[in-house]
Amino acid sequence: MTTTPDYRPTDILPAACPLTIICGPPGSGKTTWARAHRYETADIIIDLDEIQAAMDDYTDAKLAESITIRNALLRELSTVTSPAAWFIVGAPRHQERMHWRKTLQPSRLIVLEVSPVECCKRIDADKGHHVKKYQRKSYAHLWWERYTRDPDDEIQYNKDNQEPTA
């Protein structure tokens, strides 16, 4: 029997190091952005996709296990002495981002507003991603259907057209 994962745990303390949360649809380049902007290679990057890729199994039970691991890593942020940390999460809804803001108290929360068309192009070009491309494309469109912008969000646009398109 698969347990329901706790997608937004409430028992996590604020990060002890500078934390940046990066949100956006699949294919928007969240992890790539984090790696390009991190301060040092010792920075912590917490990415559910990378946790799942290490498991090499995509059942509901493995998703629940991956989320449990991600949450444990998020809990550890309250005691780490890393130069910085980066948390990758889709969080299309304002309420989801507010939860992470209140819980982790990041230095920055960035939303990558990359159009679904561009996300799908990037997904098609991605040779190494573990999740099936049609699923990621579907999730990219779903992210935009659910997306609500907040004035507190730091928005980064698609470099190609500088304006997001839903």
Which class is domain 19-157? alpha beta
- Residue boundaries of the structural domains of the chain: 19-157
pLDDT at position 143:
96
Per-residue pLDDT of 24-82, as tens digits, reads 999 999 999 999 988 888 899 999 888 887 776 666 677 888 899 999 999 999 999 88
16 or 64, greater pLDDT? 16
pLDDT at position 101:
95
Cβ burial, residue 148 (10 Å; 0-12/13-18/19+): exposed
Section 12-33 average pLDDT:
94
Instruction: Return the beta strands (E) in the chain as ranges.
Output: 19-23, 44-47, 85-89, 108-113, 154-157
Q: Which of 100, 110, 117, 105 is CA-nearest to residue 157?
A: 110
